[in-house]
Amino acid sequence: MKSLFIAAVLVAGSIQAAQATDLSCISTTFNLMSPNDKVCVSVFEDPQVPGVVCHISQARKGGWGQPLGLNEDPSNFSISCRQVGPIDVDLTKLGDNAEVFTQKTSIFFKTTRIYRLPDRPHNTLVYLAISTKIINGSPANAISTVPIVPWQK
């Protein structure tokens, strides 16, 4: 049992998820004495499919919990992924639903996750953004598709 746990930890540690970079945040409310609520736009590249870039916008809760990471952000987000260069990947070698991005949206239990789902018959990559909670998960979701086409310079 102990060796099974160690193997699971090693596999989880070897999963390569993308790291997002915040481009900018726009304030959506004014709080006189604490940080404002805002919407932030982040960018990440698919770690296994060079040539694909995704942008995600996420609502972030303000207040005094924000600087301490104590807030639970709402499950409001949008995703847009595009081909920005040549894509030279064999869709048959990609997993059916690989997690390519994860970001905690509360201190303990809530996470935004983005999965890549290959649509092999249509030569397209589908990116699905969802919000997960350990208890009472959220139905919030968004998708973006990237048809794989020959790249023109």
Does a structural domain hold residue 78? Answer: yes
pLDDT over 70 (residue 12)? no
* Domain annotation covers residue 13: no
Q: Tens digit of pLDDT for each residue in 140-149? A: 889 999 999 9
Domain that holds residue 43: 18-147
> Is 45 part of any domain?
yes
3-class SS letters over the chain: CHHHHHHHHHHHHHCCCECCEEEEEEECCCCCCCCCCEEEEEEEECCCCCCEEEEEEEEECCCCHHHHCCCCCCCCEEEEEEECCCCCCCHHHCCCCEEEEEEECCCCCEEEEEEEEEEHHHCEEEEEEEEEECCCCCCCEEEEEEECCCCCC
| Residue 10 located in a structural domain | no
Q: Are 71 and 36 in contact (CB under 8 A)?
A: no
User: Does a structural domain hold residue 89?
Assistant: yes
For the chain, the domain total comes to 1
Model confidence at 13: pLDDT above 80: no
Cα separation of 120 and 90, whole Å? Answer: 10
CA distance 80 to 9: 31
For residue 1, is pLDDT > 50? no
**pLDDT tens for each residue of 78-123:** 999 999 999 999 999 999 999 998 876 666 667 788 999 999 999 9
60: in domain: yes
- The answer as to whether 31 is a domain residue is yes
Residue 37 lies in a domain: yes
What per-residue confidence (pLDDT) applies to 4? 38
Residues in contact with 73: Cβ distance below 8 Å, sequence separation at least 6, in sequence order: 58, 59, 60, 61, 105, 106, 110
